[in-house]
Amino acid sequence: MLCEDVLERLSAFLDDELDPLRSREIQQHLGGCPGCTRALDQMKALAGRLREEAPYYRAPDSLRARVSRAAWSDASRGRVPGRRLGLAARGWLGAAAAVLVVIGGTWIVTSLRQGRAGFGSIEREVVSSHIRSLMASHLTDVASTDQHTVKPWFNGKLDFSPPVSDLSTSGYPLIGGRLDYLHGRPVAALVYQRRKHWINMFVWPDEGAADSETPPRTQQGYHVIHETHGGMDYWIVSDLNSEELSAFARLLVPGGENGQKR
Amino acid sequence: MTHETRPETAGPQRSLSPRELDRFHESVLPYLDAAHNLARYLLRDAHDAEDAVQDAFLRAIRHFDGFRGVDGRAWLLRIVRNTCFTRLSGRRSGGETVEFDEERHTGEEAAAGPEVDLARKAATESVQEGLDRLAVEFREALVLRELEGLSYKEIAQITGVPIGTVMSRLARGRKQLQLALAPSGPKENG
Protein backbone atom coordinates (compact mmCIF):
# COMPACT_ATOMS: atom_id res chain seq x y z
CA MET A 1 0.00 0.00 0.00
CA LEU A 2 1.18 3.49 -0.80
CA CYS A 3 1.45 6.18 1.84
CA GLU A 4 -1.25 8.26 0.22
CA ASP A 5 -3.66 5.32 0.24
CA VAL A 6 -2.89 4.74 3.87
CA LEU A 7 -3.26 8.37 4.86
CA GLU A 8 -6.58 8.58 3.10
CA ARG A 9 -7.93 5.71 5.18
CA LEU A 10 -6.19 6.52 8.43
CA SER A 11 -9.22 8.17 9.96
CA ALA A 12 -11.44 5.16 9.31
CA PHE A 13 -8.62 2.89 10.47
CA LEU A 14 -8.45 4.78 13.75
CA ASP A 15 -12.19 4.35 14.17
CA ASP A 16 -11.93 0.64 13.43
CA GLU A 17 -14.37 1.03 10.56
CA LEU A 18 -12.37 -0.64 7.79
CA ASP A 19 -12.87 -4.18 6.64
CA PRO A 20 -10.40 -6.60 8.24
CA LEU A 21 -8.34 -7.02 5.10
CA ARG A 22 -7.76 -3.30 4.61
CA SER A 23 -7.15 -2.86 8.27
CA ARG A 24 -4.44 -5.52 8.21
CA GLU A 25 -2.78 -3.95 5.16
CA ILE A 26 -2.59 -0.63 6.93
CA GLN A 27 -1.31 -2.25 10.07
CA GLN A 28 1.48 -3.82 8.05
CA HIS A 29 2.32 -0.58 6.32
CA LEU A 30 2.46 1.29 9.61
CA GLY A 31 4.98 -1.22 10.91
CA GLY A 32 7.53 0.02 8.39
CA CYS A 33 6.56 3.64 7.85
CA PRO A 34 7.44 6.21 10.53
CA GLY A 35 5.74 8.99 8.57
CA CYS A 36 2.32 7.35 8.50
CA THR A 37 2.76 6.19 12.09
CA ARG A 38 3.36 9.79 13.11
CA ALA A 39 0.24 10.87 11.22
CA LEU A 40 -1.76 8.22 13.07
CA ASP A 41 -0.37 9.35 16.40
CA GLN A 42 -1.34 12.93 15.63
CA MET A 43 -4.82 11.82 14.73
CA LYS A 44 -5.10 9.86 17.95
CA ALA A 45 -3.93 12.89 19.89
CA LEU A 46 -6.59 14.99 18.19
CA ALA A 47 -9.29 12.47 19.05
CA GLY A 48 -8.09 12.52 22.65
CA ARG A 49 -8.16 16.30 22.79
CA LEU A 50 -11.65 16.36 21.35
CA ARG A 51 -12.96 13.96 23.93
CA GLU A 52 -11.23 15.70 26.80
CA GLU A 53 -11.42 19.35 25.89
CA ALA A 54 -14.50 19.82 23.76
CA PRO A 55 -17.35 20.78 26.10
CA TYR A 56 -20.31 18.43 26.34
CA TYR A 57 -23.42 20.55 26.54
CA ARG A 58 -25.84 18.74 28.81
CA ALA A 59 -29.46 19.78 28.67
CA PRO A 60 -30.31 22.36 31.32
CA ASP A 61 -32.76 21.19 33.99
CA SER A 62 -35.36 23.66 32.78
CA LEU A 63 -35.36 22.09 29.34
CA ARG A 64 -35.48 18.60 30.81
CA ALA A 65 -38.52 19.53 32.85
CA ARG A 66 -40.26 21.15 29.87
CA VAL A 67 -39.68 18.16 27.63
CA SER A 68 -40.84 15.65 30.23
CA ARG A 69 -43.90 17.69 30.95
CA ALA A 70 -44.72 17.98 27.26
CA ALA A 71 -44.65 14.21 26.85
CA TRP A 72 -46.76 13.65 29.91
CA SER A 73 -49.35 16.30 29.24
CA ASP A 74 -49.60 15.04 25.72
CA ALA A 75 -50.56 11.64 27.04
CA SER A 76 -53.06 12.97 29.55
CA ARG A 77 -54.74 15.10 26.90
CA GLY A 78 -55.56 11.93 25.02
CA ARG A 79 -57.85 10.70 27.78
CA VAL A 80 -61.06 9.10 26.76
CA PRO A 81 -63.66 8.47 29.46
CA GLY A 82 -63.65 4.67 29.42
CA ARG A 83 -59.90 4.39 29.79
CA ARG A 84 -59.61 7.08 32.32
CA LEU A 85 -58.45 5.13 35.33
CA GLY A 86 -55.88 3.01 33.58
CA LEU A 87 -54.54 6.02 31.81
CA ALA A 88 -54.25 8.08 34.89
CA ALA A 89 -52.45 5.32 36.72
CA ARG A 90 -50.02 4.52 33.95
CA GLY A 91 -49.54 8.14 33.05
CA TRP A 92 -48.58 8.72 36.62
CA LEU A 93 -45.80 6.16 36.34
CA GLY A 94 -44.30 7.90 33.37
CA ALA A 95 -44.75 11.27 34.96
CA ALA A 96 -43.15 10.07 38.16
CA ALA A 97 -39.92 9.65 36.27
CA ALA A 98 -40.14 13.21 35.03
CA VAL A 99 -41.03 14.57 38.42
CA LEU A 100 -38.14 12.70 40.00
CA VAL A 101 -35.68 14.63 37.90
CA VAL A 102 -37.06 17.88 39.16
CA ILE A 103 -37.21 16.63 42.71
CA GLY A 104 -33.68 15.30 42.44
CA GLY A 105 -32.40 18.79 41.81
CA THR A 106 -34.58 20.22 44.53
CA TRP A 107 -33.36 17.72 47.10
CA ILE A 108 -29.80 18.75 46.62
CA VAL A 109 -30.63 22.41 46.95
CA THR A 110 -32.81 21.72 49.96
CA SER A 111 -30.24 19.62 51.76
CA LEU A 112 -27.62 22.25 51.09
CA ARG A 113 -29.84 24.81 52.72
CA GLN A 114 -30.41 22.57 55.65
CA GLY A 115 -26.71 22.22 56.19
CA ARG A 116 -25.52 18.83 57.26
CA ALA A 117 -28.27 16.49 56.26
CA GLY A 118 -29.49 13.59 58.35
CA PHE A 119 -29.18 9.92 57.51
CA GLY A 120 -32.51 9.56 55.76
CA SER A 121 -31.97 12.51 53.53
CA ILE A 122 -28.56 11.26 52.37
CA GLU A 123 -30.25 8.03 51.45
CA ARG A 124 -32.75 9.92 49.35
CA GLU A 125 -30.00 11.99 47.78
CA VAL A 126 -28.10 8.85 46.91
CA VAL A 127 -31.12 7.29 45.25
CA SER A 128 -32.05 10.37 43.31
CA SER A 129 -28.47 10.81 42.17
CA HIS A 130 -28.50 7.20 41.02
CA ILE A 131 -31.71 7.75 39.07
CA ARG A 132 -30.42 10.96 37.58
CA SER A 133 -27.22 9.30 36.43
CA LEU A 134 -29.27 6.73 34.54
CA MET A 135 -31.87 9.06 33.09
CA ALA A 136 -29.49 11.68 31.82
CA SER A 137 -27.28 9.04 30.20
CA HIS A 138 -24.51 10.54 32.23
CA LEU A 139 -23.32 7.51 34.05
CA THR A 140 -19.61 8.18 33.78
CA ASP A 141 -17.22 11.07 33.25
CA VAL A 142 -14.42 8.60 32.77
CA ALA A 143 -15.50 5.37 31.17
CA SER A 144 -12.96 2.67 31.74
CA THR A 145 -12.85 -0.82 33.10
CA ASP A 146 -9.29 -0.20 34.22
CA GLN A 147 -8.94 0.84 37.85
CA HIS A 148 -5.55 2.35 36.99
CA THR A 149 -7.29 4.74 34.63
CA VAL A 150 -10.25 5.55 36.81
CA LYS A 151 -8.40 6.19 40.06
CA PRO A 152 -5.92 8.78 38.72
CA TRP A 153 -8.76 10.49 36.89
CA PHE A 154 -10.01 11.80 40.23
CA ASN A 155 -6.64 13.45 40.95
CA GLY A 156 -7.06 17.17 41.32
CA LYS A 157 -10.84 16.87 41.10
CA LEU A 158 -11.32 15.76 44.68
CA ASP A 159 -9.45 16.46 47.89
CA PHE A 160 -9.23 12.74 48.57
CA SER A 161 -8.34 9.67 46.60
CA PRO A 162 -11.20 7.19 46.40
CA PRO A 163 -10.39 3.50 46.57
CA VAL A 164 -11.07 1.96 43.17
CA SER A 165 -10.96 -1.72 42.48
CA ASP A 166 -12.11 -3.74 39.54
CA LEU A 167 -14.34 -6.55 40.71
CA SER A 168 -14.91 -8.13 37.32
CA THR A 169 -13.47 -11.44 38.44
CA SER A 170 -16.27 -11.57 40.99
CA GLY A 171 -18.85 -10.66 38.36
CA TYR A 172 -19.07 -6.92 39.06
CA PRO A 173 -17.02 -5.23 36.32
CA LEU A 174 -16.01 -1.63 36.83
CA ILE A 175 -17.59 0.63 34.22
CA GLY A 176 -16.10 3.97 35.14
CA GLY A 177 -16.30 6.91 37.47
CA ARG A 178 -17.75 10.36 37.68
CA LEU A 179 -17.82 13.36 39.91
CA ASP A 180 -21.00 13.89 41.81
CA TYR A 181 -22.25 16.21 44.48
CA LEU A 182 -23.82 14.74 47.58
CA HIS A 183 -24.25 15.62 51.18
CA GLY A 184 -23.02 19.13 50.46
CA ARG A 185 -19.68 18.11 48.99
CA PRO A 186 -18.08 16.76 45.82
CA VAL A 187 -17.87 12.99 45.97
CA ALA A 188 -16.54 10.17 43.85
CA ALA A 189 -19.14 8.03 42.11
CA LEU A 190 -17.90 4.67 40.88
CA VAL A 191 -20.06 2.70 38.53
CA TYR A 192 -20.17 -1.08 38.43
CA GLN A 193 -22.32 -3.44 36.49
CA ARG A 194 -24.00 -6.71 37.32
CA ARG A 195 -25.59 -8.16 34.21
CA LYS A 196 -28.01 -5.44 33.08
CA HIS A 197 -28.01 -3.64 36.41
CA TRP A 198 -25.99 -0.58 37.21
CA ILE A 199 -24.50 -0.04 40.61
CA ASN A 200 -23.55 3.42 41.74
CA MET A 201 -21.11 3.59 44.61
CA PHE A 202 -20.59 6.99 46.18
CA VAL A 203 -17.47 7.49 48.25
CA TRP A 204 -16.27 10.29 50.45
CA PRO A 205 -14.06 10.54 53.52
CA ASP A 206 -15.52 10.51 56.98
CA GLU A 207 -12.50 10.64 59.22
CA GLY A 208 -12.87 9.24 62.66
CA ALA A 209 -16.06 7.39 61.91
CA ALA A 210 -16.16 3.86 63.26
CA ASP A 211 -16.42 1.01 60.80
CA SER A 212 -20.01 0.02 60.27
CA GLU A 213 -22.31 -1.60 57.78
CA THR A 214 -26.07 -1.34 57.46
CA PRO A 215 -28.18 -4.03 55.87
CA PRO A 216 -29.78 -3.06 52.55
CA ARG A 217 -32.67 -0.67 52.82
CA THR A 218 -35.21 -0.05 50.13
CA GLN A 219 -35.97 3.41 48.86
CA GLN A 220 -38.30 3.94 45.89
CA GLY A 221 -37.59 0.43 44.68
CA TYR A 222 -33.83 0.77 44.89
CA HIS A 223 -31.63 -0.98 47.40
CA VAL A 224 -29.23 1.15 49.35
CA ILE A 225 -26.34 -0.02 51.47
CA HIS A 226 -24.28 2.26 53.64
CA GLU A 227 -20.99 1.25 55.10
CA THR A 228 -18.02 2.93 56.66
CA HIS A 229 -14.55 1.56 56.82
CA GLY A 230 -11.05 2.94 56.73
CA GLY A 231 -12.36 6.47 57.32
CA MET A 232 -14.44 6.37 54.14
CA ASP A 233 -18.19 6.50 53.74
CA TYR A 234 -19.60 4.22 51.06
CA TRP A 235 -23.12 4.47 49.72
CA ILE A 236 -24.08 1.75 47.31
CA VAL A 237 -27.28 1.91 45.33
CA SER A 238 -28.80 -0.25 42.62
CA ASP A 239 -31.95 -1.95 41.46
CA LEU A 240 -30.03 -5.21 41.76
CA ASN A 241 -31.50 -7.69 44.23
CA SER A 242 -30.37 -7.13 47.78
CA GLU A 243 -28.47 -10.43 48.11
CA GLU A 244 -26.19 -9.68 45.21
CA LEU A 245 -25.83 -6.08 46.26
CA SER A 246 -24.80 -7.20 49.74
CA ALA A 247 -22.28 -9.57 48.20
CA PHE A 248 -20.93 -6.66 46.22
CA ALA A 249 -20.66 -4.53 49.36
CA ARG A 250 -18.73 -7.27 51.14
CA LEU A 251 -16.17 -7.34 48.32
CA LEU A 252 -15.29 -3.74 49.13
CA VAL A 253 -14.35 -4.42 52.71
CA PRO A 254 -10.63 -5.12 52.96
CA GLY A 255 -10.31 -8.85 53.46
CA GLY A 256 -14.05 -9.15 52.97
CA GLU A 257 -13.94 -11.65 50.15
CA ASN A 258 -15.18 -14.31 52.48
CA GLY A 259 -18.11 -12.25 53.55
CA GLN A 260 -17.54 -12.75 57.27
CA LYS A 261 -17.66 -9.10 58.11
CA ARG A 262 -20.80 -8.89 60.10
CA MET B 1 -45.13 22.82 40.13
CA THR B 2 -48.54 22.00 38.75
CA HIS B 3 -49.45 19.17 36.50
CA GLU B 4 -51.43 21.36 34.20
CA THR B 5 -49.35 22.05 31.19
CA ARG B 6 -50.38 23.92 28.16
CA PRO B 7 -49.27 22.56 24.84
CA GLU B 8 -46.06 24.38 24.03
CA THR B 9 -46.93 24.77 20.40
CA ALA B 10 -50.24 25.04 18.71
CA GLY B 11 -51.43 22.67 16.06
CA PRO B 12 -52.95 19.25 15.98
CA GLN B 13 -51.01 16.75 17.94
CA ARG B 14 -51.64 13.08 18.30
CA SER B 15 -51.48 11.76 21.81
CA LEU B 16 -49.23 9.19 23.29
CA SER B 17 -50.92 6.11 24.62
CA PRO B 18 -49.85 5.14 28.13
CA ARG B 19 -47.69 2.38 26.74
CA GLU B 20 -46.12 4.78 24.29
CA LEU B 21 -45.44 7.21 27.07
CA ASP B 22 -43.58 4.54 29.00
CA ARG B 23 -41.63 3.65 25.90
CA PHE B 24 -40.89 7.29 25.23
CA HIS B 25 -39.46 7.67 28.71
CA GLU B 26 -37.44 4.53 28.31
CA SER B 27 -36.03 4.84 24.83
CA VAL B 28 -36.05 8.50 23.83
CA LEU B 29 -35.92 10.75 26.87
CA PRO B 30 -32.59 9.34 28.11
CA TYR B 31 -30.95 10.90 25.05
CA LEU B 32 -31.94 14.44 25.89
CA ASP B 33 -28.35 15.35 26.72
CA ALA B 34 -27.09 13.94 23.45
CA ALA B 35 -29.82 15.85 21.63
CA HIS B 36 -28.93 19.09 23.35
CA ASN B 37 -25.22 18.64 22.81
CA LEU B 38 -25.69 18.02 19.09
CA ALA B 39 -28.04 20.99 18.69
CA ARG B 40 -25.64 23.24 20.57
CA TYR B 41 -22.77 22.34 18.27
CA LEU B 42 -24.82 22.60 15.10
CA LEU B 43 -26.42 25.93 15.95
CA ARG B 44 -23.58 27.41 18.02
CA ASP B 45 -26.05 29.27 20.16
CA ALA B 46 -27.33 28.26 23.56
CA HIS B 47 -30.78 29.74 23.22
CA ASP B 48 -31.39 28.42 19.72
CA ALA B 49 -30.20 25.01 20.77
CA GLU B 50 -32.75 24.79 23.59
CA ASP B 51 -35.54 25.92 21.30
CA ALA B 52 -34.54 23.45 18.64
CA VAL B 53 -34.40 20.56 21.10
CA GLN B 54 -37.80 21.41 22.45
CA ASP B 55 -39.20 21.60 18.90
CA ALA B 56 -37.55 18.31 18.07
CA PHE B 57 -39.05 16.61 21.11
CA LEU B 58 -42.51 17.87 20.29
CA ARG B 59 -42.01 16.53 16.80
CA ALA B 60 -40.78 13.25 18.23
CA ILE B 61 -43.87 12.96 20.41
CA ARG B 62 -46.09 13.73 17.44
CA HIS B 63 -44.44 11.11 15.28
CA PHE B 64 -43.78 8.55 17.94
CA ASP B 65 -45.86 5.97 16.13
CA GLY B 66 -43.16 6.00 13.46
CA PHE B 67 -40.60 4.83 16.00
CA ARG B 68 -39.97 1.12 15.59
CA GLY B 69 -38.35 0.81 18.95
CA VAL B 70 -34.96 -0.20 17.65
CA ASP B 71 -32.62 2.69 18.35
CA GLY B 72 -34.14 5.61 20.20
CA ARG B 73 -30.95 7.59 20.12
CA ALA B 74 -30.49 7.49 16.36
CA TRP B 75 -34.19 8.14 15.86
CA LEU B 76 -34.18 11.18 18.13
CA LEU B 77 -30.89 12.60 16.89
CA ARG B 78 -32.09 12.42 13.31
CA ILE B 79 -35.09 14.54 14.23
CA VAL B 80 -32.88 16.92 16.18
CA ARG B 81 -30.39 17.42 13.40
CA ASN B 82 -33.12 17.94 10.82
CA THR B 83 -34.71 20.54 13.06
CA CYS B 84 -31.36 22.25 13.41
CA PHE B 85 -30.62 22.24 9.70
CA THR B 86 -34.00 23.76 8.99
CA ARG B 87 -33.14 26.51 11.43
CA LEU B 88 -29.74 27.01 9.87
CA SER B 89 -31.17 27.42 6.40
CA GLY B 90 -33.67 29.90 7.82
CA ARG B 91 -30.78 31.87 9.26
CA ARG B 92 -28.96 31.80 5.98
CA SER B 93 -31.88 33.15 4.05
CA GLY B 94 -32.19 35.76 6.77
CA GLY B 95 -28.89 37.23 5.61
CA GLU B 96 -26.49 35.62 8.04
CA THR B 97 -23.57 33.91 6.40
CA VAL B 98 -23.28 30.30 7.32
CA GLU B 99 -20.52 28.44 5.62
CA PHE B 100 -22.17 25.19 4.84
CA ASP B 101 -23.45 23.53 1.76
CA GLU B 102 -24.86 20.09 2.28
CA GLU B 103 -23.88 18.57 -1.05
CA ARG B 104 -20.58 20.28 -1.57
CA HIS B 105 -18.26 17.85 0.16
CA THR B 106 -19.77 14.53 -0.65
CA GLY B 107 -17.13 13.55 -3.21
CA GLU B 108 -15.14 10.86 -1.51
CA GLU B 109 -11.72 11.31 -2.95
CA ALA B 110 -11.61 15.08 -3.05
CA ALA B 111 -8.20 16.17 -1.79
CA ALA B 112 -7.53 18.95 0.68
CA GLY B 113 -9.07 21.93 -1.00
CA PRO B 114 -9.92 25.53 -0.24
CA GLU B 115 -11.46 24.59 3.07
CA VAL B 116 -8.02 23.69 4.36
CA ASP B 117 -6.86 27.21 3.57
CA LEU B 118 -9.87 28.45 5.41
CA ALA B 119 -8.90 26.47 8.47
CA ARG B 120 -5.32 27.61 8.17
CA LYS B 121 -6.25 31.23 8.22
CA ALA B 122 -7.97 30.88 11.53
CA ALA B 123 -5.69 31.20 14.51
CA THR B 124 -7.55 28.80 16.69
CA GLU B 125 -6.97 28.62 20.40
CA SER B 126 -9.30 25.96 21.64
CA VAL B 127 -10.78 22.73 20.42
CA GLN B 128 -14.21 24.23 20.79
CA GLU B 129 -13.33 27.19 18.57
CA GLY B 130 -11.75 24.86 16.08
CA LEU B 131 -14.90 22.79 15.95
CA ASP B 132 -17.09 25.83 15.65
CA ARG B 133 -15.18 26.97 12.61
CA LEU B 134 -15.58 23.72 10.72
CA ALA B 135 -18.23 23.33 8.08
CA VAL B 136 -21.35 22.21 9.87
CA GLU B 137 -21.46 18.73 8.34
CA PHE B 138 -17.88 18.04 9.41
CA ARG B 139 -18.62 19.34 12.89
CA GLU B 140 -21.70 17.18 13.05
CA ALA B 141 -19.80 14.04 12.09
CA LEU B 142 -17.05 14.75 14.61
CA VAL B 143 -19.46 15.44 17.45
CA LEU B 144 -21.39 12.24 16.78
CA ARG B 145 -18.22 10.22 16.48
CA GLU B 146 -15.99 11.64 19.21
CA LEU B 147 -18.47 12.91 21.77
CA GLU B 148 -21.24 10.34 21.32
CA GLY B 149 -19.03 7.46 20.24
CA LEU B 150 -21.38 6.41 17.44
CA SER B 151 -20.46 4.05 14.64
CA TYR B 152 -20.28 5.17 11.02
CA LYS B 153 -23.46 3.25 10.35
CA GLU B 154 -25.33 5.08 13.09
CA ILE B 155 -23.96 8.44 11.96
CA ALA B 156 -25.04 7.64 8.41
CA GLN B 157 -28.53 6.83 9.68
CA ILE B 158 -28.78 10.05 11.63
CA THR B 159 -27.40 12.34 8.97
CA GLY B 160 -29.10 10.57 6.06
CA VAL B 161 -25.98 10.08 3.94
CA PRO B 162 -24.08 6.96 2.82
CA ILE B 163 -21.42 5.49 5.10
CA GLY B 164 -18.73 6.48 2.59
CA THR B 165 -19.74 10.09 3.04
CA VAL B 166 -19.51 9.80 6.80
CA MET B 167 -16.05 8.37 6.34
CA SER B 168 -14.83 11.21 4.16
CA ARG B 169 -16.45 13.87 6.32
CA LEU B 170 -14.66 12.56 9.36
CA ALA B 171 -11.34 12.25 7.55
CA ARG B 172 -11.54 15.78 6.23
CA GLY B 173 -13.00 17.27 9.37
CA ARG B 174 -10.10 15.82 11.33
CA LYS B 175 -7.58 17.11 8.84
CA GLN B 176 -8.99 20.62 9.01
CA LEU B 177 -9.21 20.59 12.74
CA GLN B 178 -5.66 19.35 13.03
CA LEU B 179 -4.45 22.21 10.88
CA ALA B 180 -6.50 24.70 12.79
CA LEU B 181 -5.14 23.55 16.11
CA ALA B 182 -1.52 23.20 15.01
CA PRO B 183 0.55 25.43 17.30
CA SER B 184 2.67 27.10 14.61
CA GLY B 185 0.98 27.05 11.28
CA PRO B 186 0.34 24.06 9.05
CA LYS B 187 2.51 21.00 9.18
CA GLU B 188 3.03 18.44 6.50
CA ASN B 189 2.26 14.87 7.25
CA GLY B 190 4.85 12.27 6.16
The CATH number for B163's domain is 1.10.10.10
Q: Are residues B59 and B123 in the same domain?
A: no
Domains of chain B: total: 2
Single out the residue of A56, A149, A175 nearest to residue B33, CA to CA: A56
Query: Is the per-residue pLDDT at B3 higher than 50?
Result: no
Query: Is the per-residue pLDDT at B120 higher than 50?
Result: no
Query: Is the per-residue pLDDT at B8 higher than 70?
Result: no
CB–CB contact B49 A93 (8 Å): no
Chain B residues inside the 8 Å CB shell of A82: none
Q: In sequence order, what DSSP letters do the residues of A91-152 get, joined into one string?
A: HHHHHHHHHHHHHHHHHHHHHHHTSS--HHHHHHHHHHHHHHHHHTT---SEE-S-HHHHHH
How sure is the predictor about A195, in pLDDT bands with cuts at 50, 70 and 90? confident
Q: Which residue has the higher pLDDT, A13 or A157?
A: A13
Dihedral over Cα of A153, A156, A157, A159: its sign = positive
Judge contact between B57 and B11, C-beta under 8 A: no
Q: Are residues B84 and B124 in the same domain?
A: no
Residue at B100 is within a domain = no
Is the pTM value of this prediction over 0.80?
no
> What contacts A9, CB < 8 A, 6 or more positions away?
A18, A22, A26, B171
**Residues B160/B163/B166/B171 CA torsion (nearest 10 deg):** -170
Q: Note the pLDDT of residue A208.
A: 80
Which one of B93, B124, B151 terminates a domain? B93
How sure is the predictor about A260, in pLDDT bands with cuts at 50, 70 and 90? very low
How sure is the predictor about A123, in pLDDT bands with cuts at 50, 70 and 90? confident
Q: Which residue has the higher pLDDT, A169 or A105?
A: A169
A 97-156 residues inside an 8 A Cβ radius of B: 97-99, 102, 134-138
Query: Is the per-residue pLDDT at B19 higher than 90?
Result: no
Q: Note the pLDDT of residue A45.
A: 93
Full set of structural domains in chain A with CATH: 3-43 (no CATH), 62-70+84-258 (3.30.200.100)
Test mutation, B2, B8, B13, B16, chain A, max A CBs within 10 A: B16
Chain A, nearest residue to B146 by Cα: A51
Residue at B133 is within a domain = yes
A207 touches chain B (CB under 8 A): no
Listed range (A150-154, A221-225, B73-77, B138-142) with the worst mean pLDDT: A221-225
Q: Are residues B89 and B32 in the same domain?
A: yes
Q: In sequence order, what DSSP letters do the residues of chain A get, joined into one string?
A: --HHHHHHHHHHHHTT-S-HHHHHHHHHHHHH-HHHHHHHHHHHHHHHHHHHHS---PPPHHHHHHHHHHHHHHHHHT--GGGHHHHHHHHHHHHHHHHHHHHHHHHHHHHHHTSS--HHHHHHHHHHHHHHHHHTT---SEE-S-HHHHHHHTBTTBSS------BGGGTB-EEEEEEEEETTEEEEEEEEEETTEEEEEEEEE-TTPPPEEPPPEEETTEEEEEEEETTEEEEEEESS-HHHHHHHHHHHSTTGGG----
pLDDT digits (tens, 9 = 90+) for A58-104: 888 889 888 877 776 665 554 333 333 344 445 555 566 666 655 55
Over residues A150-161, the mean pLDDT reads 89
Which one of B40, B63, B93 terminates a domain? B93
Q: Which domain holds residue B165?
A: 114-181
Looking at every residue in chain A, the average pLDDT score rounds to 79
CB–CB contact B30 A71 (8 Å): no
Q: Are residues B23 and B86 in the same domain?
A: yes
CATH code of the domain containing B25: 1.10.1740.10
Residue at B170 is within a domain = yes
Over residues A33-60, the mean pLDDT reads 92
Report percent pLDDT > 70 for chain A.
Answer: 76
Q: B91 to chain A nearest CA, in Å?
A: 22
Q: Note the pLDDT of residue B182.
A: 78
Q: Are residues B132 and B86 in the same domain?
A: no
pLDDT digits (tens, 9 = 90+) for B149-176: 899 999 999 999 999 999 999 999 999 9
Over residues A191-216, the mean pLDDT reads 86
Which one of B43, B61, B93 terminates a domain? B93
Q: Note the pLDDT of residue B122.
A: 47
Single out the residue of A256, A225, A252 nearest to residue A238, CA to CA: A225
Judge contact between B29 and B76, C-beta under 8 A: no
How sure is the predictor about A112, in pLDDT bands with cuts at 50, 70 and 90? very low
How far is the CA of A107 from the CAs of A124, A178, A251, in angstroms?
Answer: 8, 20, 30
Q: Note the pLDDT of residue B131.
A: 93
Q: Are residues B30 and B62 in the same domain?
A: yes
Q: Note the pLDDT of residue B76.
A: 95
Residue at B69 is within a domain = yes
Specify which residues A179 forms β-bridges with. Answer: A188
Listed range (A52-56, A64-68, A71-75, B61-65) with the worst mean pLDDT: A71-75
Residue at B104 is within a domain = no
Residue at B13 is within a domain = no
Over residues A17-26, the mean pLDDT reads 94
Residues A92, A70: Cα–Cα separation, whole Å: 14
Q: Are residues B68 and B125 in the same domain?
A: no
Residue at B135 is within a domain = yes
Which of B7, B37, B190 comes nearest A56 by C-beta?
B37
Chain A residues inside the 8 Å CB shell of B5: 69-70, 72-73
Q: Are residues B77 and B121 in the same domain?
A: no
Query: Is the per-residue pLDDT at B98 higher than 90?
Result: no
Query: Is the per-residue pLDDT at A10 higher than 60?
Result: yes
Q: Are residues B86 and B133 in the same domain?
A: no
A86 touches chain B (CB under 8 A): yes
Residues B134, B177: Cα–Cα separation, whole Å: 7
How sure is the predictor about B181, in pLDDT bands with cuts at 50, 70 and 90? confident
Single out the residue of B47, B51, B43, B35 nearest to residue B132, CA to CA: B43
Test mutation, A56, A102, A133, A144, chain B, max B CBs within 10 A: A56
How sure is the predictor about B123, in pLDDT bands with cuts at 50, 70 and 90? very low
Q: Which residue has the higher pLDDT, A35 or B96?
A: A35
Over residues A43-58, the mean pLDDT reads 90
Q: How many CB pairs below 8 Å do chains A and B form together?
A: 167
How sure is the predictor about B105, in pLDDT bands with cuts at 50, 70 and 90? very low
